[in-house]
Each structure stands twice: as structure tokens, then as C-alpha cells.
Amino acid sequence: MNRETKRVQLSSCEVEIITFLTWGEKEEIQGEILKGTKMNDKGQADFNPASLLNTKKKALKLSVKKVYSKDGSEQEFTMEWMNNLSIEDGDKLYQAVDEVTKPKKKQIDKE
């Protein structure tokens, strides 16, 4: 499926990301969240906050389509590449991806 993309300008490169998720991609991300949830003996859900890192990684892997070096050449997106970004660039990229992966609430017009 061809989808609209947008580019995020970082200090050392430009990253192309999708502008929306498919239903299946949304379910994959939610699956990562559920992996961090366990039922305790009282029937209550306990959430392991450490699983949020896996959720972020899944969102990035699904959303980033291309990385362009300053000279315009493409480079591969990997978690190693992501982990080596500056804090500012990593946060900027993840914020852009987070906007894509968060469900948007539809506003219902009241007449």
C-alpha cells in the first residue's frame, strides 16, 4: 500500500515517516502494550512500565520509511541508528511518530 508520508528534519539527516497507521499496525503497537500487562491473583491488571520501550520501538519500526543523509543518500533505519541520535533528535523523531500512532478522537458535531 502506498501511503502519504512526511519528512522530519533532524540535525544530521531527514527522516521520512508515514502519516497514518493501518488497523493492523495499530493492533501490533497495542499488542506490545498488552505484553506488559499481567493479571495478578486478585484479578487486577499489573502493568510493567518497562514495556513502553518496546512499544516505542514497534511504533518507530512501523512508521519510519526512509532516512536520508545530508548528502541525500538513503541509509537504513535500525534501532542502533536510532539509539545513536542526539537526545534532541531522538525526541523530535519520536514525537513526530507519536503524533501518527496516537488515535485521534473524532469530534461529533452537535446540532
What mean pLDDT, rounded, does the chain reach?
A: 89
Burial class from Cβ neighbours inside 10 Å (0-12, 13-18, 19+) for residue 105 reads: exposed
> Per-domain residue ranges for the chain?
5-101
Alpha helices by DSSP H, 1-111: 23-35, 51-63, 79-83, 87-101
List, for residues 35-91, the tens digit of each pLDDT value: 888 878 888 888 888 888 999 999 999 999 999 999 989 999 999 999 999 999 999
| Range 38-42, long-range pairs (CB < 8 A, 24+ positions) | none
CA distance 12 to 6: 17
Three-state SS letters, 26-37 = HHHHHHHHHHCE
pTM across the whole model: 0.82
